[in-house]
Structure 1
Amino acid sequence: MKIKEVNELETKELVEKLETAKAALQQMKLNHAITPLENPSQIKGARRDIARMKTVLRQRELNK
């Protein structure tokens, strides 16, 4: 997910996407521990997407 896409989302949608992304990351980590993923860089990408979402939420919080 690009930063432009994250900025276009409303705050409520962003919070929901953040929660689903966190859950997906946890599931991905668990699956990777049991049987290695074909593309382990997916974990890295998921972490970065979560960081982007958190950054945008924090910026919105500070701009209120």
Structure 2
Amino acid sequence: MKMSEIKELTEQELLERIDDTQNMLTRIKLNHAVSPLENPNQIKNVRKDVARLLTEKRLRELNKQND
């Protein structure tokens, strides 16, 4: 997911996407613990997506405080 896509999301969509992505990361980690994934880089990519989403959320919070 690109930052340009994330910036276009509404506040509610952003929160939903954060929740969904964090749940997906948890499921991927559990599946990887049970049996190895075909592509272990998938964990890294999803973790980066979570970080991007949380960063955008924090930027919006800071912008609200400054306004």
Query: TM-score, normalization: structure 2?
Result: 0.94
Tell me the percent identity.
Answer: 52
Which structure has the higher relative contact order (CA within 8 Å, separation 6+)? 1
Counterpart CA distance in 2 for 1:12 and 1:20 is 12
CA RMSD of aligned residues (A): 0.4
> Which one has the largest radius of gyration?
2
Aligned to 1:9: 9
Using the alignment, how far apart are the partners of 1:47 and 1:19 within structure 2?
12
Q: Would you identify which runs of 4 or more consecutive aligned residues in structure 1 move more than 3 Å? A: none
Gaps (5+ residues) in structure 2? none
